[in-house]
Amino acid sequence: MSKKSYRQAINEALAQEMRRDPTVIVMGEDNVGGMGAPGEDDAWGGVLGVTKGLMPEFGRDRVLDTPITESAFIGAAVGAAATGLRPVAELMFVDFLGVCFDQIFNQAAKFRYMFGGKAVTPVVIRTMYGAGFRAASQHSQCLYPIFTHIPGLKVVVPSSAYEAKGLLIQSIRDNDPVIFLEHKVLYDEIEEVPDEPYTIPFGEANLTREGDHVTIVALGRMVGFANKAADMLEKEGITCTVVDPRTTSPLDEDTIIEAVEDTGRLVVVDEASPRCGMAADISALVAQSAFKALKAPILMVTPPHTPVPFAPELEDAYIPTPDKIADAVRRVMA
């Protein structure tokens, strides 16, 4: 055990799986960096340094720099997976999904189904998401609801360093296409992470707090915010259960429903836009399956339905906060 950042945890998961399994390869824009120029080897390790150190250990055959052509290299990764490798491709920002979506949702997601289970596509697409990085509308979105909508994709939204390592190793070993979403504001968050490899199974929610009054379901960066809100509220005598689903597909419906049945109240927190997002989806699930347990209307804490603003004051106002979550909890308790 030692303290590691979210970035180090992801890097360690990649390195350990590459050591364990020679079919694991890493590819993406500037995943090595330096364009092979003398003295510039391993210059970048991805735009925020997550893959740094992999090329010197595993060589250029297994750590590939790709052109700035998501349609080409995401397609190549899907094809490589179909022919026996386990590629981990980095789609730098999830916002660039638009130029390679056919490769993901019409090819990777469909192979197992359309070939009658005879084809597997063990590709992982790592991608950065989320606001709070002052990176403006085209580099700040939370697009996991779009992937979650597509049957055949598994979608992982790790909320901390421990979660990131175990879920990424699980993603690499999984035989289906996995979209692994890393919140760029979490990269320097530190916690205890085992040095040994480990896996966290998909579709198993984590309870980060257990309480009697309100269930808060939150994803990714919002889990930490929900924990902060729960700790504030505990001083007021309101105790919360905080559910981190970890994966939006598969979704651990049972744990969410059971948690709401215990507390009778639900607040769902999502950094994605409110329409057709996980907050709406989970609200619908609970309304359908646990309506009789509800003592108050379900509340959603999400940003407004607008692009992510660039002005820092507006961006801060856009993102859900621990205070906004605590307010929603107080309202369902009123």
Partner 1 sequence: MTSEIKALAMPKWGLAMTEGAVTAWLVEEGATLREGDEILEIETTKITNVYESPAAGTLRRRVVAAGETVPVGALLGVVADASVPDTEIDAFVARFQEEFSVEAAASAEAAGPEPRFVDAGGQRLRYLVMGDGKGEEGVAPLVLIHGFGGDLNNWQFNQPMLAEDRPVYALDLPGHGGSAKHGVVGGVPELARAVRDFLNALGIQRAHLGGHSMGGAVALHLAAEEPARVASVTLVCSAGLGHDINIDYIEGFIAADRRKEMKSVLETLFADASLVSRDMVEELLKYKRLDGVASALRAIADASFADGRQSHVLVDRLEGVGAPVQAVWGAADRIIPAAHARTVPAERRHVLDGAGHMVHMEKAGEFNRLMSDFMSMA
**C-alpha angle 244-157-281 in degrees, rounded to nearest 5:** 65
d(CA 273, CA 262): 28
- 235 lies in the site for partner 1, by CB under 8 A: no
Of 44-52, 79-87, 98-106, 202-210, which part binds partner 1 (CB under 8 A)? 202-210
Closer by beta carbon to partner 1, 19 or else 134 = 19
List the interface residues with partner 1, window 208-227 (CB under 8 A). Answer: 210
Binding partner 1 (rule: CB under 8 A), the pick from 207, 287, 294, 296 is: 207
User: 183 catalytic, yes or no?
Assistant: no
Q: Does 204 bind partner 1 (CB under 8 A)?
A: yes
Question: Token match 């020679």: residue?
Answer: 22
* Stretch near partner 1 under the rule CB under 8 A, chosen from 138-146, 191-199, 220-228, 302-310: 191-199
Q: With beta carbons less than 8 A apart as the criterion, state whether 271 and 142 touch.
A: yes
Task: Confirm or reject binding of residue 22 to partner 1 (CB under 8 A).
Answer: no
**How many whole angstroms separate alpha carbon 9 and alpha carbon 183?**
13
Q: Could you say whether residue 21 binds partner 1 (CB under 8 A)?
A: no
What is the Cβ-side half-sphere exposure of residue 216, based on CA atoms within 13 angstroms? Answer: 36
Q: Which of residues 164-183 bind partner 1 (CB under 8 A)?
A: 166
Contact between 239 and partner 1 by CB under 8 A: the answer reads no
CA 239, CA 204: separation in Å to the nearest integer? Answer: 22
Helices 221-234/322-333 angle, 10° precision: 50
Q: Which stretch binds partner 1 (CB under 8 A): 44-52, 63-71, 92-100, 192-200?
A: 192-200
Q: Which of 139, 149, 213, 305 is catalytic?
A: 139
- Of 145-153, 195-203, 213-221, 226-234, the window that binds partner 1 (rule: CB under 8 A) is 195-203
What is the residue-wise DSSP string for 126-170?
EEEE-SSSS--GGG----HHHHHTSTT-EEE---SHHHHHHHHHH
Q: Does 199 bind partner 1 (CB under 8 A)?
A: yes
Asked if 200 is part of the footprint of partner 1 (rule: CB under 8 A), the reply reads yes
The nearest distance, CB 258 to partner 1, in angstroms, is 8
Q: How far apart are CA 212 and CA 103, in angstroms?
A: 45
3 state SS of 253: helix
Residue 278 Cβ vs partner 1, minimum distance, rounded to whole Å: 21
For residue 259, give the nearest of 247, 269, 270, 245 by alpha carbon: 245
Q: Which is nearer to partner 1, 191 or 327 (CB)?
A: 191
Q: Binding of partner 1 at residue 61 (CB under 8 A)?
A: no
> How many other β-carbons are positioned within 10 Å of the β-carbon of residue 138?
12
Between 133 and 198, whose beta carbon lies closer to partner 1? 198
When asked if residue 37 is in the footprint of partner 1 (CB under 8 A), the reply is no
Which residue has 């530190």 as its token pair?
Answer: 190
> Is 192 exposed, middle or buried (CB count within 10 Å of its CB: 0-12, 13-18, 19+)?
exposed
Amino acid at 227: N
Which residues of the chain form contacts with partner 1 (CB under 8 A)? 1, 162, 166, 194, 196-201, 204, 207, 210
> Among all residues, which ones are annotated catalytic?
139
